[in-house]
A and B are shown apart, each in its own frame.
Chain A
Amino acid sequence: MNQRFEHAQFAHCESGVVSTLLSSYGLKISEPMAFGITSSLSFVYMPIVKIGNMPLIAYRNLPKNIINNISKVLGIEMVKKQYKDPIQANKDLTQFVQNSQLVGLQTSVFYLPYFPKDMRFHFNAHNLLVVGKEQNNYTISDPVFETLMSCDENELTKARFARGIFAPKGFLYYPKYIPKDINLSKGIKKAIIKNAKALLTPFPYAGVKGMRKLATKISKLKVDNNERHIKNFLTHIVRMQEEIGTGGGGFRFLYAAFLQEAKAYDLDESILQEASELFIKSGNALREFALLCVESSKKLERFDSQTIANKLTEASFYEQEAALLLKKL
């Protein structure tokens, strides 16, 4: 079934895995398309939810959004399994591999031995594909890496049953049925409008407003005796954007790429073009924002909270403008 499997490196793990998975099951879909058609662009700042003592900040929708929504949007039937028993989960996985059936897994980065040491944090929503098994080692197609990786089955099982926030519980998924005549253009238009509305949500901790909320928080930061916290807070924002996100506001570039791709589906090209450029501007502003955060962390005496906050607000205005445009599609 998955003879057409080809390993590829992607900007984002979930959209990358879904793209490879569906493509090898016969539905060719690019990463930006998988990301865009599930309305995955977002911004969330939740000061009450803490991860490692720091507020939850995300530059896209919650994990599993793409996997859950792609079936709804395209009418694909997905098999999604969670396990209680790690041994059973591993047995099932071996079975899938022996039947040469490609499956996706949710794992924790911390327990994956092939990750560089510095990258291994307790982030539980990392997606990867299992493509083979030799003795006790699984061959893994991980969208973060250039080549195929190998991972011992015990370690992989540990990573699949990591606990904590977004605990994967052995989550495994693959498409069971893909309709033959998928009409992307209808789904795309709906997805873009849905995403635009989500960015403009009145809820103050998400979308454009969430960005401004975080900007206000930054503008109120004071250095006094609090240097370590400020350094950690600023670099935490950057990590959520770059390391967990992709390449400095990379989700904005990813979405811009999606809007370009959407042009082929009989939608208003000028709106798509303009919005796409606005998202690039926002991505660029976010990258400058990250750079400012890092520079201030390096030299706290030069920390200028207002400049940093303004950069983030600038990005939020580009996104607001883009979302207002896209709503009109």
Chain B
Amino acid sequence: MEKFDIPQESNATLNGQRKVMYGINESGKFERVNYASSTEEFATQTAVEEFEQLSRESLERIQQEISSPIEYFMYKNRMDLPTLSSVVGMFSFRVKRHLKMKHFKKLNDKILQKYAEALNIDINELKDFNI
């Protein structure tokens, strides 16, 4: 029987939990075994950090009056444009405009409220956004 090892490294992203995979026991039978993989850990952390970096970059653009707070909170919620569009139920070209400060400033409360709900924040966090 072809052999393979079960990774027993550490994976901080699981917060103490351990996942299972199939491995072969001593009698050559498959069974579920707990494992932790640092490869998986790195991949997950990279994805988390990417969103953090995107939101940091967004803050800089907000300071320059290019991007709107919606963009910042979108990345904070680990969303991208298609995801946010479908959550608020608007076409993505429209949402894309709202990610710009110029268009964001003209938005009424009704639309802002939609975004606030989608992004799990209070509407005032969008209206009085302070860096």
Partners in one complex: yes
Chain A's interface: helix, strand, loop or mixed, by majority? Answer: helix
Q: Confirm or deny: B83 has a beta carbon within 8 angstroms of a beta carbon on chain A.
A: yes
B21 near A253 (CB under 8 angstroms)? yes
13 pairs, CB–CB < 8 Å, chain A vs chain B: A10-B32, A50-B82, A163-B86, A163-B87, A231-B46, A238-B40, A239-B40, A242-B39, A242-B40, A246-B19, A253-B4, A260-B29, A284-B2
In whole angstroms, what is the CA distance A281 to B2 when docked?
7
A239 near B43 (CB under 8 angstroms)? yes
A248 near B39 (CB under 8 angstroms)? yes
A145 near B86 (CB under 8 angstroms)? no
B99 to chain A, nearest CB (A): 14
Residues of chain B within 8 A of A183, CB atoms compared: none
Q: Confirm or deny: A236 has a beta carbon within 8 angstroms of a beta carbon on chain B.
A: yes
Q: Confirm or deny: A165 has a beta carbon within 8 angstroms of a beta carbon on chain B.
A: yes
User: Per-residue 0/1 for B1-19: is the Cβ within 8 Å of any A Cβ (1 yes, 0 no)?
Assistant: 1101011000011110111
Residues of chain B within 8 A of A117, CB atoms compared: 15
A291 near B39 (CB under 8 angstroms)? yes
Chain B, interface size category, equals 35 or more
Chain B's interface: helix, strand, loop or mixed, by majority? Answer: mixed
Q: Confirm or deny: A116 has a beta carbon within 8 angstroms of a beta carbon on chain B.
A: yes
Q: Which of B40, B42, B46 contacts A248 (CB 8 A)?
A: B40
Name the residue on A nearest B38 (C-beta): A294
Chain A, interface size category, equals 35 or more
Q: Confirm or deny: B44 has a beta carbon within 8 angstroms of a beta carbon on chain A.
A: yes
With A122-B83, A239-B44, A243-B40 given, is the CB distance from A232 to B50 under 8 Å? yes
Q: Which of B82-98 contact A (CB under 8 A)?
A: 82-83, 86-87, 89
A238 near B4 (CB under 8 angstroms)? no
Q: Which of B46-72 contact A (CB under 8 A)?
A: 46-48, 50
In whole angstroms, what is the CA distance A32 to B19 when docked?
16
Name the residue on B nearest A255 (C-beta): B22
